[in-house]
Chains A and B, each alone.
Chain A
Amino acid sequence: MIVGYNHAQITVPPGNADKVREFYGQFLGLPELPVPPALQGLGLIWFKVGDRELHVGVEEGVNRLATRAHVAYEVDEIAELRRRMVAGGFELFEQPKIQGFERFHINDPFGNRVEFIGRV
């Protein structure tokens, strides 16, 4: 059976390793994980997300804004995150309310749609 997610992989254009670490590592506070030696040299950057992983790969020629596909992160203080995102210059996109949850999405610096959702 499928036990759950192991990871989600998103991609960014080449030459953005610093920006990836700044946004997903520092800005969102995800701890970086070592990439196995067999996969080194491919430009992969891995992060821990709760007990799962986010893998960031590299590829060119993808219009990331063309799709609504996304990864959603559960956060503990959504109001605070919302303030930080605004302070960080991100445009916030509101979504229909779901009872018991507060949520919004942004586009990461590479155009990947990112949703944040928190229990209220």
Chain B
Amino acid sequence: MQKSVADGLFRLIKNADDLAGAFTGDPNANLMTTMTRPRVILGLHHAQITVPASMEDTAIQFYGQVLGLKQIEKPGALQDRGGTWFEIGGMQIHLGVEEGVNRRATKAHLAYAVDNLEYWRKRMIENEVTPVESIAIPGYDRFEARDPFGNRIEFIQRIG
């Protein structure tokens, strides 16, 4: 019953969009119908950050030892391309190498969910990374920082 209602609704929406396309002459109207179909994006798969080549070893040490992420083997096809992959909560972080990027110029960042924010605050200070307080948001404690290569990082813990 529910399925047939959903199918009917989908047909209705599709027809409405077909009509919209016909009436407006907008070739994108039909396109948008398929583009808004749900469940295409399942989730994050990985994020890639980059560091200067001269700092690659330090970066592998920082993300592997200081952050404690588990290094994973790259697929054979990619092994001669450089870069190091880590596992993070069922997803991945890829560490690539590139020159000439001012990483401090952007607020773009990755936020890591942690279960002990104070531990991470201390651990960052011990590793010469300076925690900066973020605007407080309800339900979370958090701080941000720059990794030793200039990439912005955030640590965030759910509270309450």
A residues bordering B, Cβ < 8 Å?
Answer: 1-11, 26-30, 36, 38-39, 49-52, 54-55, 57, 59, 61-62, 66-77, 80-81, 84, 87-88, 96-99, 112, 115, 117
- Assembled-state Cα–Cα distance A10/B91 (Å): 18
- Report, as a range, how many residues of chain B touch the other chain: 35 or more
Q: Which residues of B contact A84 (CB under 8 A)?
A: 31, 34-35
Q: A38-B138, A73-B43 are in contact. Are A8 and B113 (CB under 8 A)?
A: no
Q: Contacting B37 at CB < 8 Å: which of A3, A4, A29, A55? A: A29
5 A-B pairs with C-beta separation under 8 A: A6-B111, A7-B110, A8-B47, A69-B101, A71-B48
Q: Is B40's CB under 8 angstroms from A29's CB?
A: yes
Q: Chain A's interface: helix, strand, loop or mixed, by majority? A: mixed
B residues bordering A, Cβ < 8 Å?
Answer: 31-32, 34-50, 67-69, 75-78, 81, 88-91, 96, 98, 100-101, 103, 105-116, 135-138, 151, 154, 156
Q: Is A2's CB under 8 angstroms from B138's CB?
A: no
Q: Which residues of A contact B115 (CB under 8 A)?
A: 1, 3
Q: Lowest 9 CB-CB distances: which A-B pairs, in order?
A: A4-B89, A50-B43, A74-B45, A6-B113, A6-B111, A72-B45, A98-B75, A36-B137, A3-B113
Name the distance in Å between B40's Cβ and chain A's nearest Cβ: 5
Q: Which residues of A contact B116 (CB under 8 A)?
A: 1
Which residue of the partner chain A has the closest CB to B151?
A: A69
Which residue of the partner chain B has the closest CB to A27?
A: B35
- Assembled-state Cα–Cα distance A52/B45 (Å): 11
- Assembled-state Cα–Cα distance A52/B114 (Å): 14
Q: Is A74's CB under 8 angstroms from B108's CB?
A: no
Which residue of the partner chain B has the closest CB to A103?
A: B45
Q: Is B89's CB under 8 angstroms from A3's CB?
A: yes
Q: Is A9's CB under 8 angstroms from B44's CB?
A: no
Q: Which residues of B contact A80 (CB under 8 A)?
A: 34, 40
Name the distance in Å between B60's Cβ and chain A's nearest Cβ: 16
